[in-house]
Amino acid sequence: MKTAEEKLKDFDAYIESEEKIEPKDWMPDEYRKTMIRQLSQHAHSEVIGMQPEGNWVLRAPSLRAKKILLAKIQDEGGHGLYLYSAAETLGISRDEMIEQLHSVKAKYSSIFNYPALTWADIGAIGWLVDGAAIVNQISLQRTSYGPYSRAMVRICKEESFHQRQGYEIMTTMMNGTAEQKEMAQDAMNRWWWPSLMMFGPPDNESAHTKQSMQWKIKRESNDVLRQRFIDKTVDQAHFIGITVPDKNMKFNESTQHWEISPIDWEEFKQVISGNGPCNHKRLSHHIKVHKQGKWVREAALAFSKNQQKNKATLFTN
Ligand code: BYC
């Protein structure tokens, strides 16, 4: 029988050799706790993220735009399901995770506490928010927890389509009338800084990065991923003629990176502590529809229990 210390040593060596941790493998409590925290936060983000977009389904400017938006929102729901299922393999139930969301014990991404005011916001969400999500998630495809890593592979394929959808809307608007260009620029001005905050606090203030990187839960740090997103997105902005709302931004020839002005971390802290423009709206809507959906969940469970009973009778007869 191995001691706790020996088990931990084996675990660390296993991670070091790039093997994936699977649900039935031994893992330190802290690894399990961190994984549940990140997976549930990620799942909640996907589902809460459906709200600002859902608000525009009935107002999409064409049937084509409506179909694409509907498909994207449906994908986000699916991502939530993969991630909730991956979290359940660690011993927490879906009900517990939803309870933690409703009682504000679990977070969801800060970005979804901002309103989607115009159709251009749907473009900005796809281009910037999904764009930021992909940069983070490509790296998470190599996370050390098997079920999370496999979910990420599938999610990334769908996210690339989402990012293209948003960039297409922004490109179309930037080739449109003066009013459309102004609308696109206004959305860019409002979504740029919150998108940069999606990557989390700076590395030197991030509570979890060091341990999460040691366990290969996170493969790259918040600042590294944020910089990658900036470099990609600034070039895309220039290509369609939209202005990045940062007058002091400059390209550093020696590092080959875009350098930005300081981020307003006070705004980020306010948003993640419940004081963003839409925190109350997003959470109360989720609580309301979760209550409304109770009979659906009960009916689905009763149906599946009934099916299992019928199967059992079939085999005993
Ligand atoms: N928002 O030590 P840190 C999407 C919290 S949605 C809120 O750096 P960590 C999409 C953090 O939880 C994309 N809270 O933490 C869907 C921690 O607080 P707690 C969602 C944040 O975990 C629909 C504290 O700040 N993607 O794709 O090492 C439509 C200290 O932070 C945020 C994911 O969730 C934030 N932005 O790193 C369109 C990716 N940032 O928990 C698109 C998976 C930090 O101790 N998650 N906090 O109370 C991750 O990669 C990491 O969890 C993070 C944070 C990089 C977000």
- Ligand 1 interacting residues, C-beta cut-off 6 A: 37-38, 41-42, 45-46, 49, 76, 107, 109-110, 129-130, 133, 136, 197-201, 206-209, 212, 218, 222, 272
pLDDT at 181 over 60: yes
55 SS3 class:
coil
* Alpha carbons within 13 A on the beta-carbon side of 200: 21
Give me the phi and psi of 145, to 5 degrees please: -90, 115
pLDDT tens digits, 22-37: 999 999 999 999 999 9
Residue of 69, 74, 208 to test ligand 1 pocket, by largest number of atoms within 8 Å of CB: 208
CA of 110 to the centre of ligand 1 (A): 8
Encoded tokens for 185: 């620029």
CB atoms within 10 A of CB 300: 11
CB 206 within 8 A of CB 176: no
**Which pair of tokens denotes residue 171?**
């490109």
In this prediction, residues 287-307 reach a mean pLDDT of 91
Full-prediction pTM beyond 0.85?
yes
Residue 314 confidence (pLDDT) above 70: no
The whole-number average pLDDT for the span 200-218 is 98
Q: Which atom of ligand 1 is nearest to the CA of 206?
A: 2
* CA 22 to the chain's CA centroid: 22
317 pLDDT exceeds 80?
no
How far is ligand 1, taken at its centre, from the CA of residue 129, in Å?
A: 13
Ligand 1 centroid from CA 37, angstroms: 10
Q: Which atom of ligand 1 is nearest to the CA of 222?
A: 55
Which pLDDT score is estimated for 121?
A: 98
Residue owning the nearest CA to atom 11 of ligand 1:
200
CATH topology of domain 4-274: Ferritin (1.20.1260)
Ligand 1 centroid vs 302 CA: distance in angstroms? 35
Enter the DSSP assignment of 242. Answer: P
Q: Token pair of 168, please?
A: 């297409």
Give the residue-averaged pLDDT of 131-150: 97
Q: How remote is the CA of residue 19 from the centroid of ligand 1, in Å?
A: 24
Most ligand 1 atoms within 8 A of CB, residue of 30, 51, 70, 109 to mutate? 109
In 175-221, which residue ranges form alpha helices assigned H by DSSP? 178-197, 209-214
Residue nearest ligand 1's atom 23 by CA:
49
* 306: pLDDT strictly greater than 60: yes
Return the percentage of the chain with pLDDT > 70, whole number. 99
How many angstroms separate the CA atoms of 2 and 72, rounded?
A: 48
Which residue spans within the chain are E strands per DSSP? 250-252, 257-259
Q: How many other β-carbons are positioned within 10 Å of the β-carbon of residue 253? A: 7
pLDDT digits (tens, 9 = 90+) for 245-283: 999 999 999 999 999 999 999 999 999 999 999 999 999
Confidence of residue 310 (pLDDT cuts 50, 70, 90): confident
pLDDT of 187 over the 60 cut: yes
Beta partners for residue 250, in sequence order: 259
Q: Where are the domains of the chain?
A: 4-274, 278-317
Residue with tokens 């993220």: 49
> Atom 19 (ligand 1): residue with closest C-alpha?
107
Question: What pLDDT digit, counting tens, does each position of 68-116 carry?
Answer: 999 999 999 999 999 999 999 999 999 999 999 999 999 999 999 999 9
pLDDT at 15: 96
Q: What is the Å distance from ligand 1's center to 63 Cα?
A: 34
User: Which protein residue's CA is at the shortest distance from atom 44 of ligand 1?
Assistant: 200
Who has greater pLDDT, 310 or 233?
A: 233
Per the prediction, the chain carries an average pLDDT of 96
Q: Please report the atom of ligand 1 found closest to the CA of residue 49.
A: 23
State the pLDDT at residue 303.
82
Atom of ligand 1 nearest to the CA of 197: 36
The pLDDT value given to residue 16: 96
Cα-to-centroid distance, 16 and ligand 1 (Å): 24
Ligand 1 atom nearest to 76, measured from its CA: 23
Through-space distance between the first and last CA atoms of the chain, rounded to whole angstroms: 45
Whether 132 contacts 297, CB under 8 Å: no
Q: Report residue 155 as tokens.
A: 């999610």
What string of H, E and C letters represents the secondary structure of the chain? CCCHHHHHHHHHHHHHCCCCECCCCCCCHHHHHHHHHHHHHHHHHHHHCHHHHHCCHHHCCCHHHHHHHHHHHHHHHHHHHHHHHHHHCCCCCHHHHHHHHHCCCCCCCHHHHCCCCCHHHHHHHHHHHHHHHHHHHHHHCCCCEHHHHHHHHHHHHHHHHHHHHHHHHHHHHHCCCHHHHHHHHHHHHHHHHHHHHCCCCCHHHCCCHHHHHHCCCCCCCHHHHHHHHHHHHHHHHHHHCCCCCCCCCEEECCCCEEECCCCCHHHHHHHHHHHCCCHHHHHHHHHHHHHHCHHHHHHHHHHHHHHHHHHHHHHHC
Residue 260: both structure tokens together: 């930005």
Mean pLDDT in residue range 161-172: 96
Q: Residue 15 and residue 28: Cα distance in Å, rounded?
A: 12
Contact 203, 221 (CB under 8 A): yes
